Chain A
Amino acid sequence: PALAAAAVKAARGWSGLLLGVRSVVLQLLGLTQVRWSRYGPEYQDPQIDKAYYRKPSAELNEEEKYERELRKTPVIKAAPATKTSSVFEDPVISKFTNMMMKGGNKILARSLMTQTLETVKRKQFEKYHAASAEEQATTECNPYTIFQQALKNCEPVIGLVPMLKGGHFYQVPVPLADQRRHFLAMKWMITKLSRELLEAFHKRGPVVNRKHDTHKTAEANRARAHYRWW
Chain B
Amino acid sequence: IMLKGMTRLISSVHKAKHGEQHEGQHYNISFQDLKTVFSHGLPPRFVMQVKTFNEACLMVRRPALELLHYLKNTNFAHPAVRYVFYGEKGTGKTLSLCHSIHFCAKQDWLILHIPDAHLWVKNCRDLLQSTYNKQRFDQPLEASTWLKNFKTANEHFLSQIKVQEKYVWNKRESTEKGSPLGEVVEQGIMRVRNATDAVGIVLKELKRQSSSGIFRLLVAVDGVNALWGRTTLKREDKSPIAPEELAFIYNLRKMVKNDWQGGAIVLTVSQTGSLFKPRKAYLPQELLGKEGFDALDPFIPILVSNYNPKEFESCIHYYLENNWLQHEKAHTEEGKKELLFLSNRNPGQLERLCAYL
Contact = CB atoms under 8 A, between A and B. Distances in A.
A122 B326 contact: no
A114 B355 CA distance: 8
A143 B356 contact: yes
A117 interface: yes
Chain A interface extent, by class = 10 to 19
Interface of A: 86-88, 113-115, 117-118, 121-122, 125-126, 129, 136, 141-144
Contacts of B53: 125
A87 B48 contact: no
Chain B CB count within 10 A is highest, among A87, A114, A118, A141, for A87
Contacts of A113: 356
B327 interface: yes
Contacts of A121: 326, 355-356
Nearest to A141: B326
6 contacts: A87-B334, A88-B338, A118-B355, A121-B356, A136-B1, A143-B326
A141 to B, nearest CB: 5
B335 interface: yes
Contacts of A126: 52
Nearest to A128: B323
Interface in B166-211: none
Contacts of A114: 355-356
Contacts of A141: 323, 326
Given A87-B338, A129-B54, 20 more contacts: A87-B329, A87-B332, A87-B334, A88-B335, A88-B357, A113-B356, A114-B355, A115-B356, A117-B356, A118-B356, A121-B326, A121-B355, A121-B356, A122-B52, A136-B1, A141-B323, A142-B326, A142-B327, A143-B326, A143-B356
A142 B356 CA distance: 10
Interface in B36-59: 48, 52-54
A180 B253 CA distance: 65
A143 B357 CA distance: 8
A12 to B, nearest CB: 36
B48, B53, B328, B357: most-surrounded residue (chain A CB, <10 A): B357
Contacts of A142: 326-328
